[in-house]
Structures are given as structure tokens and as C-alpha cells.
Amino acid sequence: MASLAPWREASYTLAIWRRHFLVWQRTIYSTLALQVVNPILFLFAYGLGLGAVIQTLDGLDYLTFVLPGMMAYSALFTASFEASVGAYSRYAYQKTWDAMLATPVSLLEVLLGEALWAAFKAMLSVLGVLLVGAIWGGIASVGGAVLAVLALGLASLSFAAVGLACTAHAKSWEFFNYYFTFWVTPNFMFSGVFFPVDRLPDPIEWLSWLLPMTHLIQLVRPLTAGQPLALGPALLHVVFLAVIAVGAFLLAERRLRARMFD
Amino acid sequence: MAATPIIEAKGLAKSYGAVQAVRGIDFAVRPGQCFALLGPNGAGKTTTMRMIMGLTKISAGSLTLFGKPVAQIGRAERARIGLVPQEDNLDPDLSVRQNLEVYGRYFKLPKSVIRERIPALVDFMQLTEKIDQGVMQLSGGMKRRLILARAMIAEPELIILDEPTTGLDPQARVLIWKQLLELKRAGRTLLLTTHYMDEAQRLSDWIVIIDQGRILAEGTPGELIAQHVKGHVFEVAKPLPGVLANGRFEHEDIGDSVLFYVEQPGELRRELPAETSYLHRPANLEDVFLRLTGRKLREN
Ligand SMILES: Nc1ncnc2c1ncn2[C@@H]1O[C@H](COP(=O)(O)OP(=O)(O)OP(=O)(O)O)[C@@H](O)[C@H]1O
Ligand SMILES: [Mg+2]
């Protein structure tokens, strides 16, 4: 039997991650355009456009308000896309997972590799937005920004896990229309990216608390804006994101195990 | 003499919902053997191989690999198997070399070992000139050879080949036969499926013919031919001369003509009236296959 030392076993997950990284390297420019330039364009459009109309929101100038939202958006979009459409094409079309599973790599490791990869890619775009936003003067607290990046990393894992759970249930590409319409878009629209969720009608505000994105923004905004963040609620947000990550991941693994091996 | 089989199936069965793909088969693959699993489309060959690889759970019966039930197979055993799948699952965005590197890492081979093996493997499959080309630039036959090279990266004891030469030109098939025989000489065990009967006849020590998930016959190529189609085939055009119409010889009606199977060509030739038009040839595995599995096309 192989050694059970975790760092030795982790090399299998790392091998999967490295495969994705290598493929990405070969197409680096087009993916960079999508992942970094796209959210930055958003930032400019909303920052300049809305920023000209809205001077301050919740006591913050609009750039400071919208920058954390844009970072969260790029994490949401990149991780969700990679773990759904990206992973599904590897699974169902390129049969990349089949190739991996014919080796000592396990399904759990294939999925962990996918989740880590999607989160990694998401963080690249987050850092791109952060960099531009910081240069532009949207970051009030450097320490807060570091913590915000950690929160975004955790959230990226949650978004990736939900994407994988969706991939695990998808029968065709059409399935992802539901995923984007009923999951990704609401996370984007009703989570406080452009305006605080308490401006929403009450029932919708309550529903918005079911979205991981809402919790993410509640964490990230005070951090980058240098506002106080109460420890209790912050922990609740972190736990919420972690529960989604683990729950969705396990759901994906269970569904795929049945689907692929039965 | 029987060494512990590398693979042993007893009453092995697999159902996908209502579809019974494999319906209780028994076989044993011995170390160093080239074992061929033959059968028409949909016979259950790929399903059987997937069960062996642990890529599909078994529904009934037992299946052991290296003496262990498949359900208990872990990384250590999986590292001893190389799979050439029926479907191409190379990484289309990577080069030949990168495909091999990436695959080697799935086996946790050290970088130095991977670096050392790649030139030998691409040479083995005559892909050296293509080593830095993208997989999308390879022809179908080159991809197939790359899949074979990839399966060899961890120097597996057991190599499972699901139609390794489908879509290859005659030159490439001859190359692959030569390399497979070399692997066999080096003591590797081969489990092969193919729709080319000449290939099975040439490479295999033991053949199992399955259809609709059941075993129809098994034996060495020679035994199968002797048992099911004697040694010689006479294809006689209709209408048959009266002397042959009496059922004295083993025969099979194939439409416009009738095939007669005899041990000695003289037995039948001396009976034939001079004007009969016929074709005589030694019987081969294809005759066995068609005789056992029928001549109708498999649509489902
Ligand atoms: N994942 C699956 N779900 C449902 N049915 C399946 C699945 N895979 C195979 N089958 C069915 O199981 C039967 C055996 O298929 P299998 O792929 O094992 O055949 P095969 O002998 O490899 O055929 P071929 O020579 O065409 O490759 C077929 O009837 C096929 O339709
Ligand atoms: Mg098959």
C-alpha cells in the first residue's frame, strides 16, 4: 500500500492540478483576457458610470464600495464557469477524467484537483481586479485586503464545489442554462455587489442570505474599506461559505461516483 | 502448473439498469499470457475491461485482480496496470511529450524517471518526430500509438488493450503487433480485444469469444479452429451438386453459397463434380467467429 502520509498522498491531487495548469499555460492569453480583463472592464464601467451618478453608498465613495463587489464577482464567475462548463467538457467530451481514473488517481482526487484549479483560476482574476482597484485608490486597508483575499479563496472553493455538483448532475450543456440563470446570476444580482442588500424588499433580502455571495460581500466589503467587522457575524459568514463548499463537494462526489461507476 | 491468475472472473455479470451487458462469464488470465476477448459489437468486451479496471462496479459474481477482489484494489495494484481505452482520451491541448509527462505524474513517477522514459516510449511507437507537436495535429493512427505509449509509462505488468489497432493502417498494425509481442516476451500480461481476427490469431495464447454477455467458446486459436471449423473451408456456389446436398459434411448456408468444413481437403474435393465452382482455403479464426456469432449485423 502507498504511504498514508498526507503530503505524499497530496501529490496525486497536485498532479491533477498541474495538468490543468499546463493546459491553461498553453492558452494563457485568451483565458487571461476572459478572467482578468473582463472584470476590470466591469470595474471601469461601473466605477466610472455609476460612480459619476452615485457619489457615496453607505458612507463609502462608490469605488471603495464597488471594488470588493467586483472582486467577489470575478471569483464567482471564474470559479463557477471553470467547475461547470470547463469541468463538464473534460468529463463528458474530452474524457479526461476517464483517463485519470485509469491510473492510481481516485475520483475524490480528480474532483479535489478540479476544485482547487477552479479556485486558483478565480484567485488570479481576483488579484487582477484587486491590483487595478488598489492603484485606482479603492483599497482603504492593506491588512483588510489580505484577509479579504483569504475570504475570496474560501468562497471560490464554495463556488467551485457548487459548479462541480452541477456538473455531476448535468446531462447536457443545456443543463448549465439553469445553473447560470438560477444560481450564478442571482448570486451576482442579489448579493450586494452594486448596492447594499438591505435596500432590497424584505422577503428578497431574506432570500439573499441563502446565497454564498451575500456572505462573501459582507466579509470583503468592510475589510477592504477599512471598516470594523464584528467577529461573531464574520465567523458565521465563514462557516456558511465552508459548509457550502464541503456540502456541495460531497454531493458532487457522491453523484459522480454513482453516475460513473454503477 | 497453474500459476495464480492475474485476473480471474467467476459468474461475472454487469447490468446497466435493464440492459444486461455481461451475463455471468468465467475466465482466468495467466501471467505472461496474451488473452483475447472477442465478440461482436455490444458483446460486453469494454464493459468487462472496465470492471477489471474498477471503472465500473460489478453487478454479480466475483472478479479478482492480482489475487484480490476488485472492490479492494488500491493504488498499488492500479499502478501495475496500463489501459489502452477504446475511446481516445488524450489531452488535445497538450503536446505528445506533455501528454506522457502528465500521465506519468498520475502514477507519481519521479520527474527523472518520466524524463528518461519518454524518449524510449515515443521511439517504441515511432512518434519521435512528433514529440513536440500538439495532439490535435496527429493523425488518428498516431493518436492511437500515443495512447499505447501512454499506457506503458509506468511499465505495467498487465496491459489492457481495448481495440488497440482500430483505425490503423497495415504498417502501424504490424508495428503494434511487433511491439506487443515484444512486451509479451518481456513477461507482461496482455488482455486484448479486437475485431481483427488475424490479429487475435497471431497474438493470442488464449481466446474467449463472447456474445450478448455470454461465453460461446474458448481455447487456443488452433483449438478453436480445429473444433469449430475443422481445418479447411470450401465455399461452394449454389445450386449445390447433388452429392453435397445430403448433409454428409458439416456446412453452413450463407445465402448465395454454402460453406463446407472438413479436416482433410481431399475428403470433399474428391466428391465434387468437375464443373462445380468453389473456393478452397484453410479455415481461420474469422470462420470460427462468424460461425459462432452468426452473420447478422449487430444493431443493438
Ligand atoms: N454506460 C452504459 N450505460 C448503459 N448501457 C451501456 C453502457 N455501456 C455499455 N452499455 C451497453 O452494454 C452492452 C455492452 O457494451 P460494451 O461496450 O461492453 O460492448 P463491446 O463488446 O465493447 O462492443 P464494441 O465492440 O462495439 O466496442 C451494450 O448493449 C451497450 O449498449
Ligand atoms: Mg468496446
Q: What ipTM describes this predicted complex?
A: 0.90
Query: Is A250 within a domain?
Result: yes
**Phi and psi for B240 in degrees, rounded to 5?**
-75, 145
Mean predicted lDDT score pLDDT of chain B: 93
Residue A50's domain spans which residues? 7-260
The residue with greater pLDDT, A53 or A220, is A220
Percent of chain B with pLDDT over 90: 80
Residue to test with chain B: of A16, A26, A101, A103, most B Cβ within 10 A: A103
Which ligand sits nearest to residue B57's alpha carbon?
1
Among B101-105, B245-249, B265-269, name the one with the lowest average pLDDT: B245-249
Query: Is A1 within a domain?
Result: no
Cβ–Cβ of A2/B102 closer than 8 Å? no
Q: Answer yes or no: is pLDDT of B2 > 50.
A: yes
Measured in Å, residue B43 CA sits from the centre of ligand 2 at: 8
DSSP state for residue A177 in the 8-state scheme? H
Cβ–Cβ of A96/B74 closer than 8 Å? no
Q: Is B272 on the interface with A (CB under 8 A)?
A: no
DSSP 3-state percent helix, strand, coil across chain A (nearest 5)? 80, 0, 20
Percent of chain B with pLDDT over 70: 98
Instruction: Give the number of other Cβ atoms within 10 Å of residue A5's Cβ.
Output: 8
Query: Tens of pLDDT along A211-254?
Result: 999 999 999 999 999 999 999 999 999 999 999 999 999 999 99
In this prediction, residue A4 has a pLDDT band, given cuts at 50, 70 and 90, of very low
Query: Is A171 within a domain?
Result: yes
Q: Which of A18, A102, A105 sits opposite B53 (nearest CB)?
A: A102
Query: Is A2 within a domain?
Result: no
The residue with greater pLDDT, B186 or A137, is B186
Strands B206-211 and B19-29, how do they pair?
Answer: unpaired
Give the pLDDT score at A1: 36
What average pLDDT does the segment A180-206 reach?
90
What average pLDDT does the segment B189-206 reach?
96
Number of structural domains in chain A: 1
How buried is residue A29: exposed, middle or buried, by Cβ count under 10 Å (0-12/13-18/19+)?
Answer: exposed
Q: Answer yes or no: is pLDDT of B299 > 80.
A: no
Give the pLDDT score at A5: 45
B198 touches B43 (CB < 8 A)? no
Query: Tens of pLDDT along B135-186?
Result: 999 999 999 999 999 999 999 999 999 999 998 999 999 999 999 999 999 9
What average pLDDT does the segment A74-94 reach?
96
The beta strand positions in B250-300, using DSSP E, are 250-253, 257-262, 278-282
Task: Tell me the domains of chain B and their CATH numbers.
Answer: 7-224 (3.40.50.300), 232-282 (no CATH)
The residue with greater pLDDT, B119 or B257, is B119
Give the pLDDT score at A109: 95
Angle at B140 between CA B137 and CA B142, to 5 degrees: 75
